[in-house]
Amino acid sequence: MLKTQELTLNMGPVHPSTHGVYRCVLNLDGEYIQNAVNHIGYLHRGLEKLAESRTYTQFIPYTDRLDYCSGLSNELAYVMAVEKLMGIEEEIPERAQYLRVILAELQRLGSHGIFLGSFALDVAGATGYFYIFRERDRVLELITRVGGNRLTPNFMRIGGVRNDLGEDFFTELKDLMDSFEPAFEEYNGLLTGNEIFQSRTKGISVVSKEMAMDYGFNGPNLRSVGVDYDLRRDEPYLVYDRMQFDVPVTHNGDLFDRFVIRLKEMEQSVRIIKQAMKEIPEGPVMAKVPKVIKPPVGEAFHRIENAKGHLGFHLVSDGSTKPYRNKIYAPTFVMLSAFPEMAKGTHIMDAVLILASIDIVLGEVDR
C-alpha cells in the first residue's frame, strides 16, 4: 500500500512570488495544501506610533508608505479624518473635492492595474502582464506630474489639495481615459476569455458569503462573493453622490471572480473620471485653515473605499499639534487572515494565485 508523508514547506519571506516580505509555512500532503500558517511583521515600521511624534501635516507623506500602490488614496483617507476631527468637512472647496475624486479613481486604476498584471504573471501570462502595465505606466506618469513621484505623491492637504492642476494635465488624462476602452477589450481577449486562464482560476479557492462576512472582507473581495456594498455609493463622501456609476458584483467567490471584478471596477473608474472632468467647477482648491493644525480635544474616524477595500483612520486629539493616537484600519491585514482557509485543500501551484487574489501589500499589512 502506497504511503505518503506530510511535508512542511517554507514559502517566504523573500520568495519572489509572495507579493512582498511575507512568509507562510505550508503543510503538504503530496502536492495538496493541508494547512497554512501566516507569518507577518517583516516590514513593520511602527507608523501608528510614529504619528504621535509628528504633526498632523507632517504625517501625510507617511501614509504613502502604507499601500504604496495607492498613495493618493491613503492620503485622502487620512486628511479627511483630520478634517472631520477639526469639523471643517463642509468647508472643502468644490473644485478640490472633484480633484480628489479624479485622483482617487486614477489611483484605483493604477492599483488594480498592478493587481491584474501581477496576477497574469503568476498564472504564467507574461503577455497580459506587459499589456496591462502599458496603461498602468501612463497612470503613474500622470501621478508623477501631480506630485513629483510615481508612488509617493504627497499631494493631498488638510483642507484641500496642494495646488491646482493645469489644462495640460486634463488633456493627457482625457487621452488616457479614451485609450482604456480598447485596452479593456485586449485584457479580456488575453486573459478573461483565455481557456487556460479560466481553467486555472474558475472554481479555485471559493469563498462563501458567510466566510467573507466572518473574516471581515470588504472592497472588491467582498463584492466578489455577492455582497453589494460600496462606500462611494452607500456612505458617499466628497462628490461621489453626484456621479453615475455601477458597483460590479459577482457571485462565485473564486479566483476568476476576484480577478474579473477589479477589471470591471476599472471600467467604472474611467466612467467616474470622465464625469468629474466634465463637471469640475472653477474656484479655489484649499479651504482657509490655520497654518498650525490644532484640532479640539476629541476623536474621529473616517474611511474610504480604497482600491483594496475600506481604509480608515481613527484619530484621537488631546488639543495639541500632534495626534494623541492614530489607529489605522488596513483592509488587507484583515483579509490576509483568511488565506489559510482559502488555501486549504488546493494544489500547491495555486497558493501564490490565491495570495495574489487577496491583493495584499505588506506596507499596509505590517504598518
Of 33-42, 121-130, 308-317, 337-346, minimum mean pLDDT range: 121-130
Strand partners, 301: 314
Confidence grade of residue 86 (pLDDT, cut at 50, 70, 90): very high
* H, E, C per residue of 307-350: CCEEEEEEEEECCCCCCCEEEEECHHHHHHCCHHHHHCCCEHHH
Q: What angle do CA 365, 343, 112 make, to 5 degrees?
A: 50
Residue 18 falls inside a structural domain: no
Could you give the CA distance from residue 237 to residue 77 in angstroms, rounded to a whole number? Answer: 11
Grid cell 463642509 — which residue? 90
**Model pLDDT, residue 361:** 85
**Model pLDDT, residue 312:** 93
User: By the 8 A CB rule, do 153 and 73 touch?
Assistant: no
Cβ neighbours around 87 below 10 Å, total: 12
**pLDDT for 180-192, tens place per residue?**
888 888 888 888 8
**Model pLDDT, residue 3:** 66
Residue 269 falls inside a structural domain: yes
**Model pLDDT, residue 363:** 85
Per-residue burial over 91-123, b if 16 or more Cβ lie within 10 Å, else e, is ebbbbbbbbbbbbbbbbbbbbbbbbbbbbbbbb
Tell me whether strands 32-39 and 23-29 are parallel, antiparallel or unpaired: antiparallel
Residue 16 falls inside a structural domain: no
Answer whether residue 14 shows pLDDT above 80.
no
Residue 117 DSSP SS3: helix
Residue 30 falls inside a structural domain: no
User: By the 8 A CB rule, do 169 and 177 touch?
Assistant: no
**Model pLDDT, residue 173:** 93
Confidence grade of residue 301 (pLDDT, cut at 50, 70, 90): very high
Confidence grade of residue 16 (pLDDT, cut at 50, 70, 90): low
Could you give the CA distance from residue 19 to residue 11 in angstroms, rounded to a whole number? Answer: 11
Angle between helices 351-358 and 94-122 (to 10 degrees): 180
**With the C-alpha atoms ordered 56, 311, 215, 229, is the resulting torsion angle positive or negative?**
positive
**Model pLDDT, residue 243:** 93
Residue 121 falls inside a structural domain: yes
Answer whether residue 83 shows pLDDT above 90.
yes
Answer whether residue 2 shows pLDDT above 70.
no
Look up the CATH number of the domain holding residue 85.
1.10.645.10
Mean pLDDT score of the chain, rounded to an integer? 89
Residue 26 falls inside a structural domain: no
Residue 3 falls inside a structural domain: no
Confidence grade of residue 327 (pLDDT, cut at 50, 70, 90): very high
Cβ neighbours around 8 below 10 Å, total: 10
Confidence grade of residue 249 (pLDDT, cut at 50, 70, 90): very high
**Model pLDDT, residue 22:** 85
**Model pLDDT, residue 17:** 64
Answer whether residue 15 shows pLDDT above 80.
no
Cβ neighbours around 254 below 10 Å, total: 21
Grid cell 507608523 — which residue? 47
- Domain carrying residue 60: 45-366
Of the chain, the percentage scoring pLDDT greater than 70 comes to 98
User: By the 8 A CB rule, do 314 and 329 touch?
Assistant: yes
Answer whether residue 1 shows pLDDT above 60.
no
**Model pLDDT, residue 12:** 77
User: By the 8 A CB rule, do 330 and 364 touch?
Assistant: yes
Nearest to 313 by CA among 63, 53, 50, 52: 63
Confidence grade of residue 9 (pLDDT, cut at 50, 70, 90): confident
| R_g of the chain, CA atoms, integer Å | 21
**pLDDT for 19-32, tens place per residue?**
778 888 988 888 88
**pLDDT for 273-294, tens place per residue?**
999 999 999 999 999 998 899 9
Q: What angle do CA 167, 173, 174 make, to 5 degrees?
A: 90
Residue 37 falls inside a structural domain: no
Strand partners, 284: none
**Single pTM value for the model:** 0.91
Could you give the CA distance from residue 355 to residue 224 in angstroms, rounded to a whole number? Answer: 15
Cβ neighbours around 163 below 10 Å, total: 13
Of 9-13, 24-28, 64-68, 76-80, minimum mean pLDDT range: 9-13
Could you give the CA distance from residue 334 to residue 201 in angstroms, rounded to a whole number? Answer: 23
Report the domain count for the chain. 1
Could you give the CA distance from residue 335 to residue 105 in angstroms, rounded to a whole number? Answer: 22
Cβ neighbours around 281 below 10 Å, total: 9
Confidence grade of residue 148 (pLDDT, cut at 50, 70, 90): confident
